[in-house]
Structure 1
Amino acid sequence: MATQLPTQVSPPEFALSAALPHQIGGAEVWAFPVLPGDEAPLLGPGAEEASEALGIDLLAALEAARGTGRTGEVTVVPVSAQETSDDVSVVLLIGVGEASPTDFRRAGAALARATKDRVSVVTTLAAIAPDDGLGAVVVGAMLGSFAFHWRSTGPKERPVGRIVLADISDDGADDELARALALGGAGWRSRALATVPANLKTPAWLAEQAVEVGAAGGLEVTVWDEQRLVADGFGGILAVGGGSAHEPRLIRMDYTPPGASRRTPTVVLVGKGITFDSGGLDIKPSEGMLTMKRDMSGGGAVIATMAALRDVGCPVRVIGLVPAAENAVSGSAMRPGDVITHFGGRTSEVNNTDAEGRLVLADAMAYAVAELSPTALVDIATLTGAMKVSLGQWTAGYFTNRDELVAHVEQASATSGENVWRMPLVKDYEERVASKIADGDNAAGGAGAITAALFLQHFAGDVPWVHIDFASAAESPADRHEWTAGPSGFGPRLLLAWLGSEDPLDGIA
């Protein structure tokens, strides 16, 4: 019997209205922003009118609950049937702190968590938001609503069905909402792909998802099966996937912007697609395998990004590559000491079978440089535990061979809320990635995040290149702001903020 994923919950629907909550009928919940004041917190638009309509002093209720207006703080004010003829049963007062886009994204997530299993909510949160703040509320509410289940009885809880952003009359709000839905949807898709268990999520299944979303997003999708990988010389992907009953794949997704010509530059995205990582013959301890269904998170980020490029108006060509394999243990698994030949001929000595991600990325990067003429190359992966040691839980590390790319990455990080920190490509460590018998060694040891980047740099050639290692941010241990417990789905918002900007290759192309 084939394994089938149960029907999953969907993100909330969103709508805009110029009216205030008390003027909009049918909502179960009204929600108002709270700003910290010099002497006492301040309530946002519509709260005064709601107080009159309900006969409840909302400011007094906030003060009684000792509300401060700090970001994400939620004060619940029940409404009895005797107090209103409307459908509203509860009022939420939600802190927005310093009122930055980050604060509004976190407030949106708090709103979503407080309204699960509700039919609808009307809120003026976005009415006082700064530039990009409306979109931040939407993205936060979408991702704060995320849920995944495989229960026979259905999902334990469901996102609120509909969120109406009230007191919005800005002419550009529709466009901002549409863009936010694309960004939030990409984050949702990436998170969902990473959360699917590996008894369903094989390399072939991941390729099927890429084909499906590619058809919906107007993309051309090509998939290499094992036979074609052999014929074309993708030795890294084949070696890593050689121990599994599930054959490896290479997924290619092509996006072409409207009006593109031969002069339109190309960005190539490469995402690690290890659908499960046992460590191979250098097997992980059992606790180290518990989260390894999401070792394809880089590949999931690329698939989700590619699916949303049209919706954010990306002006350049983008090609997404996902080398997908399961790193398993069997008699056909690669061994410590093996030497593999990558696409293009460079060789690697395998001195740690649990350093497999760089081997599949190397094949795809070499293919990109040789065959696709990229103006810029980006790889993204849950690559090294060393990155989590370096940067902790919530920040990804990135490396680049061109200073011109730094401003693009930093601006995208600030805009998206997916935090990154630049790491150094230390030349003195090059000797650690050298092998006595091959061109490179995949197990350089200490300073592991840096040496992994140095290993990959050889496959980037002279192309402007960014390597994003987000093993540090791939898993959220608990609900926190827009992150829900489990795989984070990190990456698409960062990549889309960059690729959806007016000139993603300014200073590079």
Structure 2
Amino acid sequence: MGGIVLDENPVRPTAVEVAAEGLLDVAAEVVAVPVWPADTAAEAVQAPASGADPDDGAGGSGPWIGPGGAELVDALGLDPLWLMERENASGRAGEIVSIPIFDEGRGASSADGETDVTRVLLVGLGDGSPASYRKAGAALARAVRGVNRLSTTVAAGAEDDSCVRAFVEGVVLATFSLGTFRSKPGKPPLITLVLAGLGEPASETVRKATTVASASWYARELVHMPSNVKDPAWLAERAEEIGHAHGMDVYVRDEKKLAAEGFGGLVAVGMGSSRPPRLIALRYEPPGAPADVPHVVLAGKGITFDSGGLSLKKSDPMATMKTDMSGAAVVMGVLSAVRELGVAVRVTGLVAAAENMPGRSAQRPSDVIMQYDGTTVEVLNTDAEGRLVLADAIAYAVAELEPSVVVDVATLTGAAATALGRSHAALYSTDDTLADDLLRAGEESGERMWRLPLVDDYRQALKSEVADIGHIDTAKMGGGSIIGALFLERFAKDVPWAHLDIAGVGRADKNRAELVKGGTAFGVRALLTWLESHPAK
């Protein structure tokens, strides 16, 4: 799916190949081998995985060189141990030692005899955990921008499939780049990654890893698209492309249908824009699934630009608001991958899309609107619009779609970022099993969450004198992320429900591990990991 939203020459995710051949038997200009710290080598490498004999200068008391190390020693006459000592290398996760091969006579010929290795990279793997492999993959990807082909045995030293998957995801995600609107693009990402020494048994693991990483890449493309291009109708067109590519039904409600059918939140938020709202539904049916297969509904906040409406934002925070549809991008990214991953349950993705602008017909603070389920809401701050569009989507799912579970994803509150920073999403849920499953999936995928409480005493903060409920904290109780979650919980009724507030983790201020500066599309990997393991009964 990567590249679907861009121009004729989009930047594509790194392609990944699996080869049974050795490190230097694969045509590549750069090669990379794994390194473990001395104090963890016994656990991470388990001795047989180490490709070098300590007597050859690739082991001993210092960091250990993994598979492919002995091959480099023999072919290139390198002394990796000395080189690492010179660089004060420790083998920590993500550490890269780069060794240029200057002497043509020492170059290693590739399998086709046409391309010589010009650079060797030693890649630190720390404790050998999936998180370390993901970090190492990301660091490796950043070290080889502009390289056409890289051969590596880093994954050949992995203890299990989860490490291989994490490494591939780290490489692909850290190469993310747009450059669509630049007249002079920068260095392109690595074009092809060859996993040497793995062979056919790893192919399925690698396929799933690239599918998940490409889904995240695609979601990032949606997030980063500027809002003069991206509006609700544009998102609907992208959804239709997903449906066409993956054999899914797609149904789009325009502003007329939304008004006629009672989607008061979406209509109200979109009134101030000349580009009207949409409710987009993508439906995935597992092949041959029985009628009683569980039905998961994912709802994403799709505010394609958030000016704050009449409760206008300040200029600095407004500048990042093209990313306020990150929840919608996550849902669309997930739906782009469920068929390829063989997800066994039915999945419907709902994208509640609107542009929040202060036009002459915009909703006003103190307006009262009616949500899809008939609940009346007093709107006291038009900059708290995401919960209004999500309330419609959740209420519609509960009333019409017979869901087994509903999960919504949104850049909902700055309070979530204040509480948890940039490393964990805020998770709320009415169901302990659902919460535990999502927390586990987040840990496995590297998208960590922290469960926060739905505090009963805080519900009074949503009381209204003129409507069934207010939509912001009028009692000045604090806990803004909790208040937002309590508002949404009302519309899920008795259906197991979870809410992911990704306001903190949905944007990155700088490159970090597999994340790149800007929108992160946080949640794609976690939700796909969860859906892959979701039982069909």
TM range (shorter): over 0.9
Q: Distance in 1 between matches of 2:236 and 2:145?
A: 33
Shift of 1:183: 0.7
| 1:91 aligned counterpart, secondary structure | strand
Shift of 1:64: 1.2
Which residue number corresponds to residue 29 of structure 1?
30
Q: Distance in 2 between matches of 1:471 and 1:254?
A: 26
Inter-CA distance 481–216: structure 2 relative to 1 (3 Å threshold): same
Q: Distance in 2 between matches of 1:501 and 1:66?
A: 42
8 Å CA contact 1:6, 1:150 repeated in 2? no
8 Å CA contact 1:217, 1:310 repeated in 2? yes
Which residue number corresponds to residue 49 of structure 1?
71
Which residue number corresponds to residue 68 of structure 1?
90
Structure 1: tracts of 5 or more residues without a match: none
Write out aligned runs for 1:378-457 (5 A): 378-444=407-473, 445=476, 446-457=478-489
| 2:179 aligned counterpart, secondary structure | coil
Residue from 62, 69, 75 that aligns with 1:40: 62
Residue from 6, 9, 15 that aligns with 1:7: 9
Task: State whether structure 2 residue 201 is matched by structure 1 residue 167.
Answer: no
8 Å CA contact 1:149, 1:155 repeated in 2? yes
Write out aligned runs for 1:63-462 (5 A): 63-80=85-102, 81-86=104-109, 87-131=116-160, 132-169=162-199, 171=201, 173-444=202-473, 445=476, 446-462=478-494
- Count of equivalent residues: 501
8 Å CA contact 1:274, 1:326 repeated in 2? yes
Shift of 1:130: 2.5
Q: Distance in 1 between matches of 2:261 and 2:146?
A: 51
Shift of 1:5: 4.7
Which residue number corresponds to residue 57 of structure 2?
none
8 Å CA contact 1:35, 1:97 repeated in 2? yes
Q: Distance in 2 between matches of 1:366 and 1:290?
A: 31
Q: Distance in 1 between matches of 2:333 and 2:70?
A: 42
Once the two structures are superposed, residues 132-160 of structure 1 have per-residue CA deviations (whole angstroms, 9 ceiling, x without a partner) of 11111111100000001244424212111
Shift of 1:216: 0.9
8 Å CA contact 2:63, 2:90 repeated in 1? yes
8 Å CA contact 2:345, 2:534 repeated in 1? no
Shift of 1:347: 1.1
Q: Distance in 2 between matches of 1:154 and 1:341?
A: 49
Once the two structures are superposed, residues 157-193 of structure 1 have per-residue CA deviations (whole angstroms, 9 ceiling, x without a partner) of 211111100111462x111011101110111011111
Q: Distance in 1 between matches of 2:242 and 2:73?
A: 46
Write out aligned runs for 1:482-497 (5 A): 482-497=514-529
8 Å CA contact 1:4, 1:200 repeated in 2? no
Once the two structures are superposed, residues 308-363 of structure 1 have per-residue CA deviations (whole angstroms, 9 ceiling, x without a partner) of 01112111101110010000011111100000111121111000100000000000
Q: Distance in 1 between matches of 2:181 and 2:374?
A: 47
Letter in 2 for 1:30: V
| 1:272 aligned counterpart, secondary structure | strand
8 Å CA contact 1:191, 1:490 repeated in 2? no
Identity across aligned pairs (percent)?
46
8 Å CA contact 2:6, 2:180 repeated in 1? no
TM-score by length of 2: 0.91
Q: Distance in 1 between matches of 2:8 and 2:391?
A: 35
Q: Distance in 2 between matches of 1:218 and 1:415?
A: 29
| Segment of structure 1 superposing worse, 50-59 or 4-13 | 4-13
| Segment of structure 1 superposing worse, 14-23 or 362-371 | 14-23
Inter-CA distance 458–63: structure 2 relative to 1 (3 Å threshold): same
Shift of 1:261: 2.0
| Segment of structure 1 superposing worse, 407-416 or 376-385 | 407-416
8 Å CA contact 2:34, 2:66 repeated in 1? yes
Shift of 1:23: 2.0
Task: State whether structure 2 residue 20 is matched by structure 1 residue 18.
Answer: yes
8 Å CA contact 2:19, 2:200 repeated in 1? no
Q: Distance in 1 between matches of 2:194 and 2:534?
A: 29
8 Å CA contact 2:18, 2:200 repeated in 1? no
Q: Distance in 1 between matches of 2:304 and 2:534?
A: 34
Letter in 2 for 1:12: T
Inter-CA distance 89–404: structure 2 relative to 1 (3 Å threshold): same
Which residue number corresponds to residue 55 of structure 2?
none
Letter in 1 for 2:106: E
| 1:310 aligned counterpart, secondary structure | helix
8 Å CA contact 1:190, 1:490 repeated in 2? no
Letter in 2 for 1:320: G
Shift of 1:404: 1.7
Q: Distance in 2 between matches of 1:85 and 1:495?
A: 43
8 Å CA contact 2:75, 2:108 repeated in 1? no
Letter in 1 for 2:91: G
8 Å CA contact 1:273, 1:297 repeated in 2? yes
Q: Distance in 2 between matches of 1:154 and 1:287?
A: 27
Q: Distance in 1 between matches of 2:511 and 2:528?
A: 24
Letter in 1 for 2:159: P
Q: Distance in 1 between matches of 2:500 and 2:6?
A: 32
Once the two structures are superposed, residues 4-28 of structure 1 have per-residue CA deviations (whole angstroms, 9 ceiling, x without a partner) of 856321011111111221222x201
Please tell me the root mean square deviation across aligned C-alpha atoms, in Å: 1.4
Q: Distance in 1 between matches of 2:90 and 2:294?
A: 50
| Segment of structure 1 superposing worse, 150-159 or 458-467 | 150-159
Q: Distance in 1 between matches of 2:251 and 2:356?
A: 23
Q: Distance in 2 between matches of 1:23 and 1:405?
A: 47
